[in-house]
Structures are given as C-alpha cells and as structure tokens.
Amino acid sequence: RKEVEQDPGPFNVPEGATVAFNCTYSNSASQSFFWYRQDCRKEPKLLMSVYSSGNEDGRFTAQLNRASQYISLLIRDSKLSDSATYLCVVIGGGGGADGLTFGKGTHLIIQP
C-alpha cells in the first residue's frame, strides 16, 4: 500500500485553463503537507505549504481534506511555464517522524 498516491498523468491542458489534481495519503497521523515542483532533470523545489484552512498563492490554491485524507492543488490561468511535475509531500506519512514522504508526482503539460 502506497503512503502517498498521485495520478501520474500526464495532464495536457491548454494555456489559460484551470487545472486541479489531488493526492491521497494513507497515514491519518500525517502532520504536514506540501506541494513541490520538479522541472525536467532538475531538483524538486517547494511550491507551497498546505494549511488546514487552505491557502492561496497567486494563481495557485492548495487545500487539505483531513477527513478524506487528500490534498489538492489548483492552478488558474495556467502558463506554459507551469509545465512540470508536481510532487505531493507529507510529513509523518511513513517516511519517518521527520522525513518527507514524496508522491511520485503528477506530470503537467501546458499547451500553447
């Protein structure tokens, strides 16, 4: 049973559209949640934290649903530069008390 699961995609989305994807986690005791972004052949970088009340950063909105054990990422007015792999990250999700557990990522392709 996977600790953190994501739809690998790819999601092919036209520029300007809104796209959303989810991530489920198996450990109900998980404490903290994040979205990381990884460009092709690059290292992962923190995109945003996910708070219980939800949070927004420009065109990006992250939500947490503890009851159903999933987090979501919504991207509005998508840009070509949003093309990347988005990694869901959970702390306390099986990777040790402090270790970040990564999902395999959702591949997003924004098309002109």
Partner 1 sequence: DAGVIQSPRHEVTEMGQEVTLRCKPISGHDYLFWYRQTMMRGLELLIYFNNNVPIDDSGMPEDRFSAKMPNASFSTLKIQPSEPRDSAVYFCASSSSPAEAFFGQGTRLTVV
| Residues in touch with partner 1 (CB under 8 A) | 32, 34, 42-46, 49, 87, 91, 95-105
| Choice between 55 and 76, CB closer to partner 1 | 55
Q: At 16, list the tokens.
A: 């300007």
Shortest spacing between CB 91 and partner 1, in angstroms: 6
C-alpha dist (Å) from residue 87 to 6, 40, 42, 112: 8, 13, 13, 23
* Cα distance between the two ends of the chain: 38
Alpha carbons 26 and 70: distance in angstroms, whole number: 9
**DSSP secondary structure letter of residue 80:** G
Q: Using the minimum distance from each CB to partner 1, give the nearer residue, 18 or 31.
A: 31
Q: Which is nearer to partner 1, 45 or 79 (CB)?
A: 45
- The nearest distance, CB 102 to partner 1, in angstroms, is 4
Our CB check for partner 1 shows the closer of 44 and 54 to be: 44
Please report how close the Cβ of residue 11 comes to partner 1 at its closest, in angstroms: 17
What is the number of residues in the chain? Answer: 112
Find the shortest distance in angstroms from Cβ 40 to partner 1: 12
Query: How many CB atoms neighbour CB 3 within 10 A?
Result: 16
